[in-house]
Amino acid sequence: MTAHAQASLASSPPPALSPRQVTLILFALAMGGFAIGTSEFVVMGLISEIARGLGVNEPQVGHVVSAYALGVVVGAPLLAILGAKLSRRSLLLALMGFYAFGNLASALAPGYPTLMLARFVAGLPHGAYFGVAALVAARISPPEQRGTAVGRVMLGLSISLLVGNPLATWLGQHFGWRWAFAIVSVIALATVAMTARVLPRVNAPRPDALRELRDFNRKPVWLALGIGAIGFAGMFCVFSYLAPTLVQVTGVRESFVPFGLVAFGLGGILGTLAGGWLFDRLQFRAAAVVLGWSALVLLLFPLAARSVWTVLPAVLAVGTMGALAPILQAHLMDVAAEAQTLAAASNHSAFNTANALGPWLGGMAITAGYGWTSTGVVGAATAIAGLLVYFWARREAQARAVLAVECE
């Protein structure tokens, strides 16, 4: 960890917390991640219901997903800057309260234009919440367990893929799509209540917005975000076209698709836990391990997709690419100096960029006639590109270390 990062994270001594208190805080923060993950992906499972309810076609409902992603990209840095003067506890409560409002607005939207606006608003606090939650988790944990703590917070997002999204989809199918967003709003409010209860007030000094912007605009930060925006795209490339790949290539019935989603969700949970563990042992080198693993998994996916016996393990392996998220989240704490909140929040802007880039590149390959499994090859190319950015970042770090030694 750099001296700047150490100073930022230790600007005031962390409160003396018992293991039980730390567990409760991490659970509360992960519950917020569960709410966010459920809301983010539930539209994909309720496209037909929303289209019928609003009198629009399904591609138009797909734009609702894009509106949310745009909100994440815009809101992560914007709300991090606007909340620069707030304590992290107050900022967390405000962000999750804002998220509850955005989802309630989604549930009550009278028409398609208002739903688009509501989903954009709901996406605004997404990245900033995860960024601040990761910083809080790292601060209340021993230095050698920072990666594990960040992974446990982000575990809520992975569990939402396995449990929250299927349950919200079922609820929406049986009682109306609006209820899915209403339930997310309730979970978000419960997160606010629990966080307020278990997270102690700490008066830690915060840098001003201009200082955050100056420290944010540094090459190590941008390279880390570049790794996420490019290297993570392969996972979304495969996941976005998983259902038609299973039906058209593997040759299973549509009723089999949920098993593929479950396998992906399990992989996401394993990856999130493994990513935190790897970072605690390898630091930034863990990113290279995960990117190399990702390239291998994605290259094998086209072969594995041809058999029902191999496709589920392959999909689970693709899900483990989520290990990159806690690794980059923790690494940004080391290179962001006084821009801790802004950099941590922007990590999720990078991942949503990957979420847009992966399906777009995969769609181009499929449209060009290379078949559904071409997403694996395209995804492997993005993982390798992310690995190249990683080596660039490592070279820059080594050059800075040499320069620092020479200046002493």
Q: What is the 3-state secondary structure (H, E, C) of 31-92?
A: HHHHHHHHHHHHHHHCHHHHHHHHCCCHHHHHHHHHHHHHHHHHHHHHHHHHCCCCCHHHHH
64 and 182 within one domain: yes
Domain boundary pick from 206, 240, 262? 206
* 230 contacts 360 by C-beta, under 8 angstroms: no
Task: Dump the DSSP string for 165-226.
Answer: HHHHHHHHHHH-HHHHHHHHHHHHHHHHHHHHHHS---------HHHHHHHHSSHHHHHHHH
Residues listed for the chain: 408
Are 214 and 131 found together in one domain?
no
Distance CA 348, CA 354 (A): 10
Q: Is 140 helix (H, G, I), strand (E, B) or coil?
A: coil
Closest-CA residue to 152 (of 24, 50, 265): 24
Domain that holds residue 167: 1-206
Q: For residues 108 and 133, state if they share a domain.
A: yes
Domain count across the chain: 2
User: Which residues make Cβ contacts (< 8 Å) with residue 260, sequence separation at least 6?
Assistant: 242, 243, 246, 311, 312, 315
CA 93/CA 127 separation, integer angstroms: 14
CA 122-125-130 angle, 5° bins: 125
Q: Are residues 182 and 254 in the same domain?
A: no
Per-residue tens of pLDDT for the chain, all 408 residues: 444 444 444 444 455 777 788 888 889 999 998 999 888 878 766 777 788 888 877 667 767 777 888 888 888 778 877 877 778 888 889 999 999 999 999 999 999 899 989 999 998 998 889 888 888 888 877 777 777 888 888 888 878 877 887 788 788 878 888 998 999 999 999 999 999 998 887 655 555 666 667 767 788 888 988 999 999 888 888 887 887 888 888 888 877 777 887 888 889 889 988 888 888 888 889 999 999 999 999 999 999 999 999 999 999 999 999 899 888 888 887 787 777 777 777 877 888 788 778 888 888 888 888 888 898 999 999 999 999 999 998 888 787 776 666 666
Same domain, 159 and 263: no
How far, in Å, CA of 358 to CA of 383, rounded? 11
Query: Which amino acid, residue 216?
Result: F
Phi-psi region at 155: left, alpha or beta (left = phi > 0; alpha = psi -120 to 50): alpha
Does one domain contain both 380 and 317?
yes
Residues 229 and 325 placed together within one structural domain of the fold: yes
Domain end position, chosen among 190, 206, 222: 206
Instruction: State the Cα–Cα distance between residues 122 and 165, nearest whole angstrom.
Output: 16
Which single residue is written with the structure tokens 């917070």?
A: 153
Map residue 408 onto helix, strand or coil. Answer: coil
Do 299 and 324 share a structural domain? yes
With vertex at residue 357, the alpha carbon angle to CA 355 and CA 358, rounded to the nearest 5 degrees, is 70
CA distances (Å), origin 313, targets 244, 271, 300, 302, 320: 17, 14, 11, 13, 11
Q: State the pLDDT at residue 11.
A: 44
Residues 163 and 241 in one domain: no
CATH of the domain at 135: 1.20.1250.20
Nearest Cα neighbor of 278 from 320, 226, 333 is 320
Question: What is residue 200's predicted lDDT score, i.e. its pLDDT?
Answer: 84
- Distances in Å between the Cα of 65 and the Cα atoms of 51, 62, 175, 401 are 13, 5, 21, 43
CA-to-CA distance for 230 and 246, rounded, in angstroms?
A: 25
How much is the pLDDT for 208?
60
Number of helices (H) and strands (E) in the chain: give both, helices first: 20, 0
Angle at 331 between CA 326 and CA 337, to 5 degrees: 135
User: Given the structure tokens 């058999």, which residue do they identify?
Assistant: 307
CA–CA dist 156, 40 (Å, integer) = 13
Same domain, 142 and 260: no
In angstroms, the CA 55 to CA 157 distance is 31
pLDDT of residue 58: 64
Identify the domain boundary among 187, 206, 225: 206
Tokens 């982000």, located at residue: 154
Of 31, 136, 121, 132, nearest to 91 by C-alpha is 132
The answer to whether 266 and 161 have CB atoms below 8 angstroms apart is: no
Same domain for 146 and 271, yes or no, is: no
My answer on whether 183 and 215 are in the same domain is no
Element (H, E) at 237: helix 233-240
